Amino acid sequence: MDAEAKTGVSSLTHENLLKPLGAVTANFTYLDGAIQFAIWVFLFGNDARPPLLGQAVTSELSFRQLVSLFGASCRLRFPDRDHGQLEAICGRVRELEQKRNQILHSFWVGGSDGKARRFKSTAKGELKLQSEEVDVATLTSLAADLEQAVEEVHQFRKALFA
């Protein structure tokens, strides 16, 4: 029995849209974990195993707070290094978080034709409704950017301890 038969409503979100949305979600989680692991290593050394103390420090932090702690702990651990690459990584992952939030905190319809419609409402002071057509390839690109950022964080951390 399909969704329409069960609920009386046709499925509004096509599987072509669900896969890239899932990839954005999963890759952002990997990025969060890569930043947490880097913090553990910056705070407790490169042999941060088991990472229980590190997990206690980072587990309740928002992504924004993690990025701030990532930057601060790296600067403290390596005070004499040029921090240009660190600043670039922090800026990039903050930008990716904003894009991810825009994508995941929206209501989506469509996707079968390679395009989908994103709906978002906010009520901070007054109700605002937003709607835009998004190419599903844009979501796939964001997922790839998040995956690349994970690799950048890992390579950055490894290079500092080389």
For 62-100, how does the pLDDT look when each residue is reduced to its tens digit (9 = 90+)? 999 999 999 999 999 999 999 999 999 999 999 999 999
Containing domain of residue 56, as a range?
12-105+137-160
- The answer to whether residue 127 is domain-embedded is no
- The mean pLDDT of 45-67, rounded to a whole number, is 85
Q: Which of left, alpha, beta for 141 (phi over 0: left; psi -120 to 50: alpha)?
A: alpha
- The answer to whether residue 7 is domain-embedded is no
- The answer to whether residue 122 is domain-embedded is no
pLDDT, position 13: 66
Number of domains in the chain: 1
- The mean pLDDT of 55-64, rounded to a whole number, is 94
Burial class (CB in 10 A: 0-12, 13-18, 19+), 10: exposed
CA distances from 132 to 48, 100, 111, 137 (A): 45, 16, 13, 15
- The answer to whether residue 23 is domain-embedded is yes
CA distances from 135 to 17, 38, 97, 110, 117 (A): 10, 34, 19, 10, 9
- What average pLDDT does the chain have? 89
- The answer to whether residue 29 is domain-embedded is yes
- The answer to whether residue 56 is domain-embedded is yes
First to last CA, the chain: 57
